[in-house]
Structure 1
Amino acid sequence: MLFTELGLSEPILRAIAEEGYTSPTPIQAKSIPAVLKGGDLLAAAQTGTGKTAGFTLPILQRLSSSKTSGGKRLLRVLILTPTRELAAQVQESVMTYGRYTDLKSTVIFGGVGANPQIKAIAAGLDILVATPGRLLDLMSQKCVSLDAVEILVLDEADRMLDMGFLRDIKKVLAALPKKRQNLLFSATFSDEIKSLADGLLNSPELIEVARSNSTNEAIAQLIHPVDRTKKQALLAHLIKGNDWKQVLVFTRTKHGANKLVTQLEKDGITCMAIHGNKSQSARTKALADFKAGKLTALVATDIAARGIDIDQLPHVVNFDLPNVSEDYVHRIGRTGRAGSNGVAVSLVCVDEHQMLRDIERLIKQKLPQEIIAGFEPDPNAVAQPIQLRSQQHQQSRKPSTQKPGGGNANSGRGKPAAKRSSPPKKSFSR
């Protein structure tokens, strides 16, 4: 199938073609016609499959073909995302593929000054991309009106729930017109997502691409058993011994990420950390340097890395296994994109054996294990308890005075495709 078969207008098709793309991914091929029909949509697909283009392209088409007559522009589309980086990249996608339309859009999120965002809204918009916290802030200041919104998008809805945004989402929903199109995109169809969908969507079309808990066959997965005290040395050994040039490393905590960066730098490995305690400028610089090849390793926590979009990322390392099994699938999904192969390595100590069993049960496969000479784990080692992230989630869902759109929203995914490589015909994968 080609984009020219999906009912998109010439200006949008021209922008797509100039980016070097001709064929939609499966989620795009299904969601674009569904959105164009005007009904509600509940869509699930793995990270990197093209969910962002699945809604930005048909939204641009719908707004272009039903322009409001005269007067000031009215805000007609609201796209909610859990994190700042994701919001910025969704906005980038809107601008890239809407550049030959006369539609106006902007993005708002916390962690930066609000005045430029307020001015952009006041100038008149068709599309607003926002994190929940900053949106509610500006709504309370009467700086943004949602009275004319025709289309609502909840992007990465599962992560928004994980981050405790449910109450904020409900406040936003209460300010929207009752008659509107609702699009809910998620990596998984959890019970919480189904509950949210039941209260939000009206007879939605259901789209699911691949099993929600499956892993990409293009990703080679490997477990290296090792003692907890030798993990850092083993990681340095793997990076330097295999001459890895670009490695995304996951840790369980922000403190663990900072500590690992310090240790790796002592081993001569260029690296930076990305997590919620880092400033917006620091996170942006770390990600840009990593994409540009100036850093060998980017060390990230789960929320910070959600949606990191890097073409042909060769290696992902789980320095710590995630407490929530589904996050393993999200983590390793950063590699093996756009038809390229990837390697996902997990360094597993005795503390994490139950986590590994849970992951293998979820993905329905036994992961191969390889012990590296010189890093053999102590067979008599005793497991130490690890605080489960689910306990932290329960605490985070209690009422809080912290504004979630500002301090800890950390990642994103934007353009719908891998950049052009060489063949003229290809599909895009973001």
Structure 2
Amino acid sequence: MDLFESLQKRLAELEYTEPTPIQAQTIPAAVDGQDILGCAQTGTGKTAAFALPILDYLGHEKPRAQPGRPLVLVLAPTRELAIQIGQSFHTYGKHIPFRQTLVYGGVGQGQQVRSLEKGAHVLVATPGRLIDLMEQGHIKLSDVEILVLDEADRMLDMGFMPAIRKIIAKLPKERQSLFFSATMPPKIRELSEDLLFNPFSVNVTPKTTSVKRIQQSVRLVERGEKVDQLIKVLSGDDVNRSIVFTKTKRGANALATKLEKRGIPAVAIHGNKSQAARQKALTAFRQNRISVLVATDVAARGIDIDDVTHVVNFDMPMEPESYVHRVGRTGRAGAAGIAISFCTADEFDKLRDIERLIGEKLRLQNPDAKLSAAKSAPSGGRRGGSAGNGNRPQRSGRPANGSGKRPKKRFGKRRETARA
């Protein structure tokens, strides 16, 4: 890849020699100033796919950072993902002089405001805290050259779409936008059409399917049997590090306590935990001081933890798309992984929805199980399934993809000057 010399030096130090598919496809187009529409699951290297072109731009142009006026805005749905993105920029940009600020909730805003006042080239933010600081006058987005929207479908799941549109309305029309999502439901595709201009599209994963390297299965259980069944799974010789997903925050706390009492080191992580508590739990998990992380869907995306051997769906996810992201916590970077789902009789409908979404029937571990609730066992049903967007009326404002013209982005113009 033809990147800024200091950036190439850093990649060599990190022994990054071969780009992942999304990096190989995205980086050249992003460096040339094109808008990007990327569909890829976490763990495919997409953070570097947008961080490296941004650092390449900062290295070539050496722009000045103005107080409270970032040049690059990266939006992420969760604090953990924002921190992870910030760490990636810090790692890759070691030899490039730039400033970044992280803005997210769950902590006091004082340090974040002071960092903004010093000037930041790159602002990595969650939507809620960003809007708070905008409304207080600490941040103005009129100088943003590059917008990155990461994990867009997770933003939709978390109810951030009104906030996203409010933020986008404050951005200059002339900019480069990089849009990444693990799935492309109709509302996300509609947002991308509003946000992007003639985008370069990248799709490195099968449509809304789970990772094929992961051994996926389902076990039919009574609700009162779940804890004992989980302990049986976690006690297996092949289990190293596991993430167990529950439906509720209270359920995560209760389950972690039960596991601890049964001699299995565990900690819960969810949205009601303070940022310090969440980071402490993740650090303990990464350092193998605990073997089980009990989580709600707040941890289903953006948490890049190596060597997770097992994912257990203690509760079936409310939305079938969440299954893909939960399961994706294992089998990362080409490794194998195991995903087991516990399904009670009243969760059969959720199981059918998942199988319909991923286009395959999960292997049933105990086909002879008899559950007490009066519901029929899952049959798999029709494979695949699609959702058409229909014909939407032409929206005013920015031109639709492939038609009309928009003024050439300043980012692209500067890139041509730098390459000349």
Which TM-score bucket, shorter chain as reference? Answer: 0.7 to 0.9
**Cα distance, 1:7 vs. partner?**
1.4
The aligned runs of 1:267-306 (5 Å cut-off) are 267-306=262-301
The aligned runs of 1:17-28 (5 Å cut-off) are 17-28=12-23
The one-letter amino acid of 2:373's match is: A
Residue 332 in 1 paired to residue 324 in 2? no
Task: Note if contact 1:146-1:176 (Cα within 8 Å) is conserved in structure 2.
Answer: yes
Q: C-alpha separation between the residues in 1 aligned to 2:47 and 2:197?
A: 22
**Cα distance, 1:71 vs. partner?**
8.1
Q: 1:248 aligns with which of 233, 243, 258?
A: 243
3-state SS of the aligned residue for 1:320?
Answer: coil
Q: 2:231 aligns with which of 218, 230, 236?
A: 236
Q: C-alpha separation between the residues in 2 aligned to 1:223 and 1:174?
A: 45
Task: Note if contact 1:81-1:129 (Cα within 8 Å) is conserved in structure 2.
Answer: yes
Aligned length: 376
**Cα distance, 1:353 vs. partner?**
1.5
Pair 320,70 (structure 1): closer, same or farther in 2 beyond 3 Å: closer
The one-letter amino acid of 1:381's match is: A
Q: C-alpha separation between the residues in 2 aligned to 1:356 and 1:300?
A: 20
The aligned runs of 1:11-410 (5 Å cut-off) are 11-68=6-63, 75-242=70-237, 244-371=239-366, 377-382=369-374
Pair 268,70 (structure 1): closer, same or farther in 2 beyond 3 Å: closer
**Cα distance, 1:75 vs. partner?**
2.0
Pair 217,243 (structure 1): closer, same or farther in 2 beyond 3 Å: closer
Q: C-alpha separation between the residues in 1 aligned to 2:290 and 2:85?
A: 25
Q: Deviations over 1:364-383 (max 9, x none)?
A: 112111139xxx84444335
Q: C-alpha separation between the residues in 1 aligned to 2:249 and 2:262?
A: 20
Q: C-alpha separation between the residues in 2 aligned to 1:212 and 1:103?
A: 37
Q: Deviations over 1:364-423 (max 9, x none)?
A: 112111139xxx844443359xxxxxxxxxxxxxxxxxxxxxxxxxxxxxxxxxxxxxxx
3-state SS of the aligned residue for 1:106?
Answer: strand
**Cα distance, 1:17 vs. partner?**
2.2
The one-letter amino acid of 2:221's match is: V
The one-letter amino acid of 2:374's match is: V
Task: Note if contact 2:69-2:139 (Cα within 8 Å) is conserved in structure 1.
Answer: no
Pair 197,23 (structure 1): closer, same or farther in 2 beyond 3 Å: same
**Cα distance, 1:81 vs. partner?**
0.8
Higher relative contact order (CA 8 A, sep 6+): 1
Alignment gaps of 5+ in structure 1 = 1-5, 385-430
Q: C-alpha separation between the residues in 2 aligned to 1:290 and 1:351?
A: 32
What percent of counterpart residues are identical? 50
Pair 60,297 (structure 1): closer, same or farther in 2 beyond 3 Å: same
Q: C-alpha separation between the residues in 1 aligned to 2:131 and 2:351?
A: 40
Q: C-alpha separation between the residues in 2 aligned to 1:70 and 1:151?
A: 14
Pair 67,161 (structure 1): closer, same or farther in 2 beyond 3 Å: same
Task: Note if contact 1:247-1:298 (Cα within 8 Å) is conserved in structure 2.
Answer: yes
TM-score (norm 1): 0.84
Q: C-alpha separation between the residues in 2 aligned to 1:243 and 1:341?
A: 12
Q: Deviations over 1:119-141 (max 9, x none)?
A: 11111111111111111111112
Query: 1:424 is matched with which residue?
Result: none
Query: 2:399 is matched with which residue?
Result: none
Q: C-alpha separation between the residues in 2 aligned to 1:54 and 1:70?
A: 23
Pair 88,380 (structure 1): closer, same or farther in 2 beyond 3 Å: closer
Pair 140,379 (structure 1): closer, same or farther in 2 beyond 3 Å: closer
Q: C-alpha separation between the residues in 2 aligned to 1:73 and 1:176?
A: 14
**Cα distance, 1:301 vs. partner?**
0.6
Task: Note if contact 1:84-1:131 (Cα within 8 Å) is conserved in structure 2.
Answer: yes
**Cα distance, 1:280 vs. partner?**
1.0
3-state SS of the aligned residue for 1:139?
Answer: helix
TM-score (norm 2): 0.86
CA RMSD for the aligned pairs? Answer: 1.9
Pair 371,100 (structure 1): closer, same or farther in 2 beyond 3 Å: same
Task: Note if contact 2:252-2:295 (Cα within 8 Å) is conserved in structure 1.
Answer: yes
